[in-house]
Amino acid sequence: MADVTPIGSARPAALEFFAGIGLARLGLERAGFRVSWANDYEPDKRAMYTAQFADRPGEHTFALGDVGRVEVDDLPVDAALAWASSPCTDLSLAGGRAGLAGAESGSFWHVVRLLTGLCERRPRVVVLENVVGLATSHGGDDLTAAITAFNGLGYSVDVLALDARRFLPQSRPRLFLVGAQQPPADTPEANPDLRPDWLQWVYGDTSLRTHRAPLPAPPAPLTGGLGDVVEQVPLDDGRWWDEARTEAFVASLSPTQRSRVAALRRAPGVRYRTAYRRTRHGVAVWEVRPDDIAGCLRTARGGSSKQAVVRLGGSRLRVRWMTPREYARLMGAGDYDLSAARTNQALFGFGDAVAVPVVEWLARHYLMPLVRGELAPRSPAQPAAASLSFDGGSAAWASAYK
């Protein structure tokens, strides 16, 4: 407990846009921030958020509703950080690829509108978290537009790719745009693990004001650990599928998958794998991951997005849906309060969130040092893109994406 900082007014305040069930808040507060305001439009997510945090009156404000209805005067004026986990529906490979023009991902422009209205009171640091598909959406134009918008508000932007698999047994790559009013010195050779080759074009675009902060190396990607987070559900529990359903599961596997599963069944001991139902050539089939890592958790809209747990060993195979507690553990929130949450409510909330230890790592090693001015500032001799005047221009930017 030595590294736990008590919550109090001395902690830098943070705004949490698109808060969901509050996993970004968990990560930020573990790193020393105090989230004083949050917004989301889904009542089910707010219900879970409220049950988890049980804030006392005056400690925290949760604005339930469309971010488009939030006004500047609704926001606290002392925030040092603004975090926005903008909806990824229009940007992920599973979505319609409408990009920032989409009805959901386009809500990013309302965050820009609100930051514009804060003027000199806007936070010193901003973060936009999204799926890695943002980097290629509309040929990179959406990422360019987001960076340009932050530039116009006075922020230099760093772009990082970080997978939850470096902290948890779940493959969940995400993109993070970190905007700083007082950016650190640009370090071109910094952290190739965080800024892979496919992101380097951002820093080569001279129309953008960007920086690359030298950060500690993140942990290496995990190669296992799923078995450690799986709940030990008794084999006579009704959540395990019956024989007919299990046989249909096996019958849907490809020959390669079936051979792999058969080998695991014969092996000594018990192993766990995860499986997704996918459509191949118009036919619904199951696919089992070959490793001890969960696939990316998704929102539970329909059976195809839900993840199943496969238990293998002793010549037996059992299958069931993943539980809410397993979702919570795979997001780094194993002790999350699920006492009042319905199963699908919990699966949706966790599948539509950001992993807690990813946020905590980024906040400890980058966001808090930025807020406290502990990173070496950009030298006056370093080139930067021309300052952009964005105040008052949010309507023009938003209209370009309608």
Residues acting as catalytic residues:
88
b/e sequence 33-57, b meaning 16+ C-beta within 10 Å: bbbbbbbbbbebbbbbbbbbbeeee
Residue type, position 282, single letter: G
CB 271 within 8 A of CB 312: yes
Task: Give the amino acid at 140.
Answer: G
The residue among 228, 212, 102, 222 whose CA lies nearest residue 163 is 222
Amino acid at 202: V
Burial of 236 by CB count in 10 Å (0-12 exposed, 13-18 middle, 19+ buried)? exposed
> How many Å apart are CA 54 and CA 49, to the nearest integer?
8
User: Is residue 132 packed enough to be buried (19+ CB in 10 Å), middle (13-18) or exposed (0-12)?
Assistant: buried
- Token pair 């604005």 is found at 63
The answer to whether 279 and 303 are in contact (CB under 8 A) is no
Name the DSSP class of 7. P
The whole-angstrom separation of Cα 316 and Cα 265 is: 6
Using an 8 Å Cβ cutoff, are 243 and 289 in contact?
A: no
Q: How many CB atoms lie within 10 A of CB 259?
A: 11
Residue 237, CB half-sphere, CA atoms under 13 Å: how many?
Answer: 12
Q: What share of the chain is helix, strand, coil (3-state, %, to 5)?
A: 35, 20, 45
Residue type, 55: D
Residue in 211, 96, 152, 47 with CA at minimum distance from that of residue 398: 152
One-letter amino acid at 12 equals P
Rounded distance between C-alpha atoms, residue 99 and residue 91, angstroms: 5
